[in-house]
Amino acid sequence: MSAPPFHLAFPVTDIEATRRFFVDTLGCRVGRSAPRWIDFDFCGHQISAHLIDGTLARAETNPVDGDNVPVRHFGLILEWSAWHALAERLRTRGTRFLIEPHIRFRGEVGEQATMFLCDPSGNALEFKSFQDPARVFAT
């Protein structure tokens, strides 16, 4: 059984900068939109950027394997080669990473490739991958 797509709505402070980031940087397709919101196809999931008046508070962080990981974040678990291709594309574009692409929990059950970046409004996104997808929920 395949998992149903999820929906996530999140705040942004600049709708056009958000559109450019998700389309040009991440390669998302645009769905429906209006002057104050825009839907993106995020690898088959629907994410909706909603314009707010004001600023977003910076996310608190927790230490995870030597990194200060933003507590409030979202992202995708990609196939191993797709994660590496995205990391290379982002590096080539000169993307500023919040946490550089690297392997976390090396040699442990939860070993994973991970990277964090922010959208133009400061929302943190994590892209991760497991060499063995069966290990995603391994303890």
pLDDT above 90 covers a percentage of the chain that reads 83
The answer to whether residues 114 and 75 touch, using CB atoms and an 8 Å cutoff, is: no
| pLDDT the model gives residue 138 | 87
Low-confidence ranges of the chain (pLDDT < 70): 1
Which whole-number Å values give the CA distances from 5 to 2, 8, 76, 116, in the listed order?
9, 10, 12, 22
* DSSP-based three-state secondary structure for 123: coil
How do residues 45-82 score in pLDDT, each as one tens digit? 999 999 999 988 888 999 999 999 999 999 999 999 99
| pLDDT the model gives residue 8 | 98
Q: Which fold has domain 61-135?
A: 2,3-Dihydroxybiphenyl 1,2-Dioxygenase; domain 1 (3.10.180)
Q: Which fold has domain 7-51?
A: 2,3-Dihydroxybiphenyl 1,2-Dioxygenase; domain 1 (3.10.180)
Does this chain's domain 7-51 share its CATH topology with 61-135?
yes
| pLDDT the model gives residue 87 | 98
Number of neighbouring beta carbons within 10 Å of residue 129: 22
Instruction: Please enumerate in sequence order all residues whose Cβ is within 8 A of that of 120, keeping only pairs 6 or more positions apart, or say none.
Output: 12, 13, 14, 17, 18, 20, 21
Domain extents in the chain: 7-51, 61-135
